[in-house]
């Protein structure tokens, strides 16, 4: 698996430190609201969601929604499919969407418009990674872990064709891996 990685972009310790900083910022911002619902976007959010939730020093609830648009490709299909909806009624709740990466922005633009129709008290977005160069859909992002260059990354939840999610770091995938697929 590691031989498919060109280089490590963000190491394990750097991720840990940034997650702790984001959690501190979120804890301070939501302290007086007394109600926080983290909505993780499966499957990429998995590692980030559990680490972030454990580091937030507030009572909170968690729920998950699943969408997919990449499949076995490094380019968005442009069609975002809802695979699993929330279990929670989010009306009048303070909702924070937790994503692993914002690339084209299509996934979050879709989710944001869907969730806003359900009248949350507030809706913010937290992403570990942001690839600003590739944005085609404009979405407001409230918390960003790292801005990254335009390269296809895997690890810490992020996949290529469902693999590499369990790497403990964020790495750039060797182009041969997806060019020969």
CB of 80 to ligand PRP, least distance (A): 7
**Please, are residues 19 and 52 in contact by the beta-carbon 8 Å criterion?**
yes
Residue with the CB atom nearest ligand PRP in the bound state:
44
- Name the burial class of residue 72, with classes exposed (0-12), middle (13-18) and buried (19+) by CB atoms within 10 angstroms of its CB: exposed
Element (H, E) at 179: helix 175-179
Choose the catalytic residue: 6, 13, 51, 103. Answer: 103
Establish whether 142 is a catalytic residue.
no
Residue with the CB atom nearest ligand HPA in the bound state:
103
What angle in degrees, to the nearest 10, is found between the helix axes of 46-55 and 12-30? 50
Window of 11-19, 51-59, 105-113, 167-175 that interacts with ligand PRP by CB under 6 A: 105-113
Question: Quick check: 152 binds ligand PRP (CB under 6 A)?
Answer: no
Q: Using CA atoms, how far apart are residues 19 and 27, in angstroms rounded to an integer? A: 12
Question: Quick check: 105 binds ligand PRP (CB under 6 A)?
Answer: yes
Q: What part of residues 105-164 is at the interface with Mg ion (CB under 5 A)?
A: 159
**Please, are residues 114 and 144 in contact by the beta-carbon 8 Å criterion?**
no
Window of 59-67, 83-91, 109-117, 146-154 that interacts with ligand HPA by CB under 6 A: 146-154
Picking from 24, 15, 22, the residue whose alpha carbon sits closest to that of residue 143 is 22
Q: Which of ligand PRP, ligand HPA, Mg ion, none sits in contact with 152, Cβ below 5 to 8 A by type?
A: ligand HPA
Q: Using CA atoms, how far apart are residues 48 and 69, in angstroms rounded to an integer? A: 20
The size of the interface with ligand HPA (CB under 6 A), counted in residues, is 8
* DSSP secondary structure, 152-166, as one string: -EEBTTB-BTTBSTT
Q: What part of residues 14-53 is at the interface with ligand HPA (CB under 6 A)?
A: none
Tell me the catalytic residues. 103
Q: Which positions lie near ligand HPA, rule CB under 6 A?
A: 70, 101, 103, 152-154, 158-159
């Amino acid at each position: 698996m590691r031989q498919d990685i060109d280089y490590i972009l963000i190491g394990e310790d750097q991720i840990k430190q940034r997650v702790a900083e984001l959690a501190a910022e979120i804890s301070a911002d939501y302290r007086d609201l007394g109600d926080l619902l983290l909505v993780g976007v499966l499957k990429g959010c998995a590692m980030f969601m559990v680490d972030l939730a454990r580091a937030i020093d507030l009572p909170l609830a968690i729920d998950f929604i699943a969408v997919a648009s990449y499949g076995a490709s490094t380019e968005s299909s442009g069609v975002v499919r809802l695979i699993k909806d929330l279990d929670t009624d989010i009306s009048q709740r303070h909702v924070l969407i937790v994503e692993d990466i914002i690339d084209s922005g299509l996934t979050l633009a879709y989710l944001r418009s869907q969730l806003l129709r359900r009248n949350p008290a507030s809706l913010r977005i937290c992403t570990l990674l942001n690839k600003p160069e590739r944005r085609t859909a404009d979405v407001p992002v409230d918390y960003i872990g790292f801005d990254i260059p335009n390269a296809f990354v895997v690890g810490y939840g992020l996949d290529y064709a469902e693999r590499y999610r369990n790497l403990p770091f964020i790495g750039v995938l060797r182009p041969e891996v997806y060019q020969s697929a």
